[in-house]
Amino acid sequence: MNLIALLAGAGLATALIGWPRHGLLARWRENRSAAARIRREDALKHLLKCEANGAPATSLSLGGALGLRESGAAALLRDLEARGLVSYAEGRLLLRPDGREIALHVVRAHRLWERHLAEETGVAESRWHRLAERQEHRLTPRQADALAARLGHPLSDPHGDAIPAPGGELSADDGQPVNAIGSGQPFVIVHIEDEPEDVHAAILRTGLRPGMQGYVMGRSGSALRLWIEGREVELRPSVAQQLSVRALDTVSRADLRGGRTLADLAPGGRGGVIGLSASCRGAERRRLLDLGFVPGSVVEARFASPAGDPTAYEVRGALVALRRDQACHVRIGSEERAAA
């Protein structure tokens, strides 16, 4: 009886492991195949970014990007070449049309998914990149197109990177590290690198976002001192290296210093809305726009609560209460401009 039970158990185990479509062996093979596909797509994405920025792609650069030894990166490149996705010409590694199409889709899917997380979910910003890294390998081109349409065909992701069009080109990274900007030079943040995660998290804690304007105040010790949208920020050089900016030659420090936010209005004060801060995103941004805080609107601070926060503002004939951290998102011009 025990022998029969043992044989029956062995037969069941064999069936479970060897079941053609749902057995453990089939699932292991499927997972292994998916992991290999993801690695190929990650490699093609690296090659596309190198191509866009005019940087030579090598097995060494690929290994650094994917965390592989150079021998493993070389084997991966041989596999891509055998599949007709890459080629070598005059000693240079080049993407072939099929490889470029795959890479472009992966980049597009990643940046669209980050935009979705920023605009349509409450997911913490520190998790956007990692979640998009997974989803970029799952979205089909048709699903990516549908997502782009739902988001209103955005041109950039939350980090300032351009979202390529289907069949289009990947643009080169914009700007230069803020470390390279001279003292006193006004700039606008165009990109915040999201890797490595610990450095990205350090930038997020400062509240800096693409689209913000400021200038370099100077360097004190090992820190870079910046003035950005009404406050001073200090960054370590290793962190500042992840912040890409573009010089603003038509904007002066006085222009930047003269900017105010709704939170600066005392009761009875008036201002004209210039726009919303780049740090204001998603549902909060849509709410402020829906309430009437759009460029050109005249706002008057009516009265503050006994505790001083929130404050009631009159905009477009309605009375709206905003906390100070919300009012800081609304950039305004002078009272004289508003009255005019």
Q: What is the mean pLDDT of the chain?
A: 84
Same fold, 16-172 and 176-257: no
b or e along 208-241 (b: 16 or more beta carbons within 10 Å of the residue's beta carbon)? bbbbbbbbbbeeeeeebebbbbbeebbbeeebbb
Position 25 scores a pLDDT of 65
Range 178-191 average pLDDT: 88
When comparing pLDDT for 50 and 206, which is higher?
50
pLDDT in tens, 15-66: 555 566 656 666 766 777 889 999 999 999 999 999 998 888 888 999 988 8
What is the pLDDT, as a whole number, of residue 119?
A: 85
Per cent of the chain over pLDDT 70 is: 89
- As a whole number, mean pLDDT of residues 1-11 equals 57
- Residue 336 has a pLDDT of 47
Helix (H, G, I), strand (E, B) or coil at 12: helix
Match domain 260-339 to its CATH number in 2.60.40.420, 2.30.30.90, 3.40.1110.10, 2.40.50.90. Answer: 2.30.30.90
Which of 49-58, 136-145, 197-206 is least confident?
197-206
HSE-CB of 190 using CA atoms within 13 angstroms: 15
pLDDT reading at 102 higher than 90: yes
| pLDDT of 339 | 44
Report residue 207's pLDDT band, with 50, 70 and 90 as the boundaries. confident
The pLDDT of 104-126, averaged and rounded, is 91
- Whether 71 shows a pLDDT value over 70: the answer reads yes
Q: Regarding the domain delimited by 16-172, which CATH topology (the fold level of the hierarchy) does it fall under?
A: Arc Repressor Mutant, subunit A (1.10.10)
Distance CA 113, CA 130 (A): 11
Structural domain boundaries in the chain: 16-172, 176-257, 260-339
Q: If you average pLDDT over residues 151-170, what whole number do you get?
A: 89
Identify the pLDDT of residue 256: 78
This prediction's pTM? 0.72
Q: State the pLDDT confidence band at 147, using cuts at 50, 70 and 90.
A: very high
Q: Which two tokens stand for residue 249?
A: 């030659």
CATH number for the domain formed by residue range(s) 176-257: 2.30.30.90
**Stretch 193-219: mean pLDDT:** 83
- pLDDT over 50 (residue 159): yes
pLDDT at site 334:
61
| pLDDT at residue 19 in the model | 60
User: In the chain, what percentage of residues exceed pLDDT 90?
Assistant: 29
Stretch 234-263: mean pLDDT: 84
In angstroms, rounded to a whole number, what is the distance separating the alpha carbons of residues 144 and 286? Answer: 23
**What average pLDDT does the segment 173-188 reach?**
87
Query: Can you tell me the distance from the alpha carbon of 300 to that of 315, in angstroms, rounded to the nearest whole number?
Result: 7
Question: Which strands make up the sheet holding 176-177, listed edge to edge?
Answer: 176-177, 243-247, 186-192, 213-220, 223-228, 231-235
pLDDT of residue 337: 46
What single letter denotes the amino acid at residue 284?
E
pLDDT at 132: 94
